[in-house]
Structure 1
Amino acid sequence: MTRRLVSPSLIGKTNRSRVLKLLFENGPSSRAQLARALGVNRATIASILQPLVDDGTLIEGEAIAPSRSGGKPARPLWFNQAGAELGSVRMSSTRILAARIGMDGTIRTQGQRQIGPDWELSRIRDELLTLADECFEGHVLFGIGVAAAGMVDTTTGRILSVHLAPVLNGFAVVDELQAAFAVPVAIDHHPRVLALGDRWFGAGRGLERFASVYTGEALGIGFVHEGEVFRGVDGAGGEYGHMVVDMRGDRCMCGRTGCWETIATTGWLRAEAGRRGLPDAERADCASLVAAAGQGDARAAGLIRDYARNLAVGMANHEHMLASHNYIIHGDAATGGETMRALLQEYLAEFSPHRGEPPVVIVDPTDEDPVLLGGGGLVLSTELSTVV
């Protein structure tokens, strides 16, 4: 194997990336604090920081009085609110969302377009570019991150397969957005982007290992291990919804039998609500069933317990294999609040390996924000990579 030396320009990019990641993780920091955290001297940290101040990426805050031991007043550095922003796009079978996000994780603007799985691809492309233009035009972007439903190829920037909208199969999303905005664009599978949103801006911030669980019409898990999101070659893997949990179960839309999605999606939940004679079964979701159970409806209470149990089956399989320990719940199941969290915690502890402290379940009740923030996190993880 041929080994190449790391070029001076790559060393510079890596050092800048480490500084920016420290700021994201620790908040506004002085030059001295950053130097200590990186184990470098003041001259080295100054050479890294000054270009970032000069180009407007970072700004100096108000001086902080020195400690009793003396020294110069510290001026903490933080991201310039008028500087570059993060672009985010989410594509599913029925809609496209886009957002422009500040470096501090604040969503500055967002919008969406409804699309149809029976539309021509050219029409979907036009809706994507029109929406992106409304959110991004006239603003300086650090990059754009795309969260896509279905299977993706992170190397070629294409959506490979979407079961609910085959028209998107092969769609070169990255090429389209790069041509339109001339900035770095990255794409990844929706649950992994969700995990990046938690990693950079959400409940996973500061955790070295956790899994983000998306629930709703589909199921997915993205997970962070030792501070980095895990993905296979070219973005492969992560199709948790299609791991088989019942060889004699129902047929899944993917063509296999007994996938996790056949027993723990909102589609299953509504069909089961109908079988159990619950009212408004076609509109049933976790929130409405928890509310009905709270009013004494035993059928709703039983269904919620079964829903939690079925979700925990897939989560426990992940815990057996990868031991993420912390599970952040998003989507439909999160709307069940503490009732659903407690049930998931109970079943996950029962089904997981019994060693040490049981896994922890965290519920995030926000709607689309974690995924949109994850698009920004995808940009940061790509552009601030410290792997050389």
Structure 2
Amino acid sequence: MAHERSPLRLVPSLSVAHEGGGATGPGALGAVEVLPGQVRAALMSGAGSVHERAEARFDPAAGPGAVDAALAEVAGLLVAGAPVGVGVAAAGVVDPAAGLVVEVNEAPALRGYPVGRRLEALVGVPVRVEHRARVQVLGDRWFGPGRGRRSFASVSTGEVLGVGILYAGEVVAPPGGRSGAHMTVSASGRRCTCGRRGCWKTVATTRWLRERAEELGLGGDVSLGALVGAPGNAAEKLVAEYAENVALGLATVQQLFACGLFVLHGEAREGGEPFRALIEEQLRADVLGGGEPVRVEMSEAAVDDVALLGAAGLVLSAR
């Protein structure tokens, strides 16, 4: 896969599969998500409906043989469904051109793992690999709020933070690029897990929300959903602060790429319309004028399907 990419297009030979159970037949899409210790796979229709699922676990501290075994376990589902291709949404640092998972801090077993080559050998169809936070924008582009748009952003929130950007019809995925969690938003901010200070991740994830809630006397085991609408000024202020922190990183993305639309996934959905409105209001206040007004929308996809939909979108976006 070359680094320079042509505009995304629907492959003409793909057709929408039937909605029954069992193998989906011609036109089916294979989708795989690779996480530390877990591999998830699905057969999907060209319309984004999940027909069948499989998953397997492996010891993230083991060697690559453990990942091989997990892939082989889920590959049977894909082989039976005869997909036209397989897309892989992988955690960590990814080299899409080589089909490699370069490194995942929490999973030494995935370091340098050639997931693309392994899956091609198992399934016998073309495989494309991309970072899971970046690839989810393709799920929104083909199956969600981004349909018909050539530029917008898809945002992961919660324990994992990241942004996937579609710009002028192409996923912004330069070699060595990341998903934005470690962009600096405060030079003197908190120490991040990467060793640097002030990363966006340090103020806009579930970990920060729980730590801040404990500091405010709200308890350390809280959820965004429980905080929204909870009585008391402390909860209200915390929700507003969290929304401001999420918008802080998105404002930088908007300034650079003029996305116009941001689709929120993950924990943000627990906050519902009040949380969405707070982020949109803050984002509009933070960015300069010009261009279309910034909009923020919530994803309608089930949390567990976001990365799989993006992986299916990789197949649809193949040349």
TM-score (norm 2): 0.89
* Cα pair distance change 1:80/1:213, threshold 3 Å: closer
Provide, for residues 257-312 of structure 1, a one-character-per-residue CA deviation record: whole Å limited to 9, x for no partner: 21110111111111112222213x23x2322222xxx1313222211111110000
Kindly report structure 1 stretches of 4+ aligned residues shifted beyond 6 Å: none
Give the one of 50, 65, 68 matched to 1:125: 68
Residue 346 (1) aligns with residue 288 (2): no
5 Å-filtered alignment, 1:215-364, equals: 215-233=157-175, 236-279=176-219, 281-282=220-221, 284-290=222-228, 294-355=229-290, 357-364=292-299
Give the counterpart letter for 2:211 in structure 1: A
Give % identity.
38
5 Å-filtered alignment, 1:36-55, equals: none
Q: What's the CA shift for 1:147?
A: 0.5
Q: What's the CA shift for 1:114?
A: 4.3
Does the Cα contact within 8 Å between 1:91 and 1:148 map onto a contact in 2?
yes
Provide, for residues 128-160 of structure 1, a one-character-per-residue CA deviation record: whole Å limited to 9, x for no partner: 321232x21322111111101111011111111
Does the Cα contact within 8 Å between 1:163 and 1:253 map onto a contact in 2?
no
Which residue number in structure 1 is paired with residue 26 of structure 2? Answer: 83
Which residue number in structure 2 is paired with residue 105 of structure 1? Answer: 48
d(CA) in 2 for partners of 1:310, 1:115: 35
* Cα pair distance change 1:115/1:309, threshold 3 Å: farther
d(CA) in 1 for partners of 2:180, 2:59: 25
Residue 368 (1) aligns with residue 308 (2): no
SS at match of 1:347: helix
Give the counterpart letter for 1:127 in structure 2: A
Q: Which structure shows the higher helix fraction?
A: 1
Instruction: Give the total of aligned pairs.
Output: 306
SS at match of 1:142: coil
Does the Cα contact within 8 Å between 2:56 and 2:73 map onto a contact in 1?
no
Residue 141 (1) aligns with residue 77 (2): no
5 Å-filtered alignment, 1:189-200, equals: 189-200=131-142
Does the Cα contact within 8 Å between 2:101 and 2:115 map onto a contact in 1?
yes
Q: What's the CA shift for 1:356?
A: 5.0
Of the two structures, which has the highest relative contact order with CA contacts closer than 8 Å and spacing of 6 or more? 2
Does the Cα contact within 8 Å between 2:185 and 2:198 map onto a contact in 1?
yes
SS at match of 1:253: coil
Which protein is bigger by CA-based radius of gyration? 1
Does the Cα contact within 8 Å between 1:94 and 1:116 map onto a contact in 2?
yes
Does the Cα contact within 8 Å between 1:163 and 1:254 map onto a contact in 2?
no
Give the one of 172, 175, 187 matched to 2:117: 175
d(CA) in 1 for partners of 2:93, 2:233: 39
* Cα pair distance change 1:80/1:149, threshold 3 Å: closer
Point out where structure 1 has 5 or more consecutive residues left out of the alignment. Answer: 1-13, 24-51, 59-78
Point out where structure 2 has 5 or more consecutive residues left out of the alignment. Answer: 1-5, 19-24
Does the Cα contact within 8 Å between 1:213 and 1:222 map onto a contact in 2?
yes
Report the RMSD for the aligned CA atoms in angstroms: 2.1
Does the Cα contact within 8 Å between 1:146 and 1:188 map onto a contact in 2?
yes
SS at match of 1:208: coil
d(CA) in 2 for partners of 1:362, 1:260: 21
d(CA) in 2 for partners of 1:80, 1:309: 42
Q: What's the CA shift for 1:217?
A: 1.4
Which residue number in structure 2 is paired with residue 202 of structure 1? Answer: 144
Which residue number in structure 2 is paired with residue 211 of structure 1? Answer: 153
d(CA) in 1 for partners of 2:56, 2:153: 29
